Amino acid sequence: MSNLARKQQYLEPQRQQNTQTKQQPVPVHTRRSITLGEKVLGALLVAFIAIMAIKIISTQAAIYKVNRDIQNQQSSIQSQIKANNDLQTQVSDLSQYDRIKKKAEKLGLKLNENNVKVVEGK
């Protein structure tokens, strides 16, 4: 009988250890709430992104306006160059010697060979 008592004493602490390990609470994973600091940081990040988006859009609008103004100026320059070329052609046509001579005779001017001065052109 003494052996039996020893076996029971020996087995009984193991049973207590087993029951103690079974009684340990299982950790419950609860979702952690967002802190005030995290909310503030999130709001600042969203505000920063919104401000930068607005800044980029306004900059692109300004660039578009400048490009449009440049194109308008270039088209006006091209039209002025064309007008200048047309006027230069008219000047060449109107300054022909025969035309000037006919206009002078029509107005009563006469060519005097002794009074003619030769002027070098361009």
For residue range 88-114, list pLDDT tens digits in order: 999 999 989 889 889 888 998 887 778
Asked, for residue 28, whether it belongs to a domain, the answer is no
> Alpha-carbon distance 102 to 117, whole Å?
19
| Residue pLDDT tens, the chain, 122 long | 556 555 655 555 555 555 555 566 677 777 788 899 999 999 999 999 999 999 999 999 999 999 999 999 999 999 999 999 999 999 999 989 889 889 888 998 887 778 777 788 76
Q: Is residue 52, in this structure, part of any structural domain at all? A: yes
User: Is 7 among the domain residues?
Assistant: no
Q: Is position 84 within any domain? A: yes
Cα–Cα distance for residue pair 7/14, rounded to 1 Å = 11
DSSP state of 113: G
Range(s) of the domain holding residue 74: 37-107
**Count of domains for the chain:** 1
In a domain, residue 57? The reply is yes
Residue 103 lies in a domain: yes
Please report whether residue 78 resides in a domain.
yes
**CA dist., res. 75 & res. 85, Å (int):** 15
Residue 90 corresponds to which tokens in the numbers above? 């008219």
